[in-house]
Amino acid sequence: MSSIAQYLLNGLMQGTIYGLVAIGFTIFFGVMNVIKFSHGDVLTFGAFGGLVATWLSIALGLPIWLELGLVILVAVAASAAIGALIARSLVLPLKDAPPLNMLLMTMMVGTAIRECIRLFFPNGTNPQKFPELLPSGGAEMSGVYLRYDGLILIVSGIAFIFAIQWIINRTRLGLAIRAVAEDGETARTMGINFTLTVAIAFAIGSMTAGFGGALFGLYYSEINYGMGLILAVIGFSAAIIGGLGNIWGAIIGGYLFAGLQTAVVATLPSLSDYKNVVAFIIVIALITWRPTGLLAERGSERV
């Protein structure tokens, strides 16, 4: 029983990270009708940015809590910057192109980011050790080992998600973003700065990736250049399950995917290697059953 609780905790952690990635996908799609597949590698970029921040902090001899804050800040800022850059220079010019072109282009951008990290970061091909910044150890509760850092990360991840959600739904900026997502032309005529709003939306979406990257590094104490790809696919799947353009859907999709993985590991321990296989099979089945996602509007076509 205790091990199931253990799996659950792990699942919650992963679900938070997946949810963060999925939110980004869903924002991008909602605002510009584009699937930005480089999102996972933007996460990696943010994580590596955070790593550099830790080196800087150690060199400057900063106290741990300041180092922690700096890591998160730099990770988020780095991702936001590169996300906005990609949006301005690569996505916007190509927005009228066929979807295959856009998809391929963002996949290639992701590959380019990944390769740049691999080639130009010192020792880029090796996994990088992320320092222990959160209190280690944990509480033993009825056989379940609750890691302190795990709990902190889950709580902060959920808090961040709520913050993003609040920005989108309750601020003027969020209103502008939603307006642009609804109808770009009309938003422009209403005096909303289209390009700026799009850039900001992409920056916000990428920020979630940066935060996710920092969480990942802090939890596993290890980051590597290739970690973005599988996270992108999972995040994309999660966003689609929840329905593209729907933030709550993305979050639910993320936890759902993690839940699927956990279910496989918990119920069939000897088959735990197959957790991704089962999860993806269920994802494919889900989108076959509901081709436009679980929470999105039903699309129907009868010709």
- When binding is defined by CB under 8 A, the residue of 55, 58, 99, 195 that contacts other proteins is 99
96 binds other proteins (CB under 8 A): yes
Q: Is 138 among the residues that bind other proteins (CB under 8 A)?
A: yes
**Residues 182-211 contacting other proteins, CB under 8 A:** none
Contact track, other proteins, 148-177, x by CB under 8 A:
-x----------------------------
Residues 94, 159, 163, 196: which binds other proteins (CB under 8 A)? 94
Q: Minimum distance between the CB of residue 143 and other proteins, rounded to whole angstroms?
A: 9
Q: How far is the CB of 226 from other proteins (least distance, A)?
A: 9
Q: Which of 129, 141, 163, 166 binds other proteins (CB under 8 A)?
A: 129
Footprint on residues 21-40 left by other proteins (CB under 8 A): 29, 35
CB of 173 to other proteins, least distance (A): 26
Q: Which is nearer to other proteins, 77 or 295 (CB)?
A: 295
Q: Does 284 bind other proteins (CB under 8 A)?
A: yes
Q: Does 135 bind other proteins (CB under 8 A)?
A: no
Structure tokens at 142: 């009825």
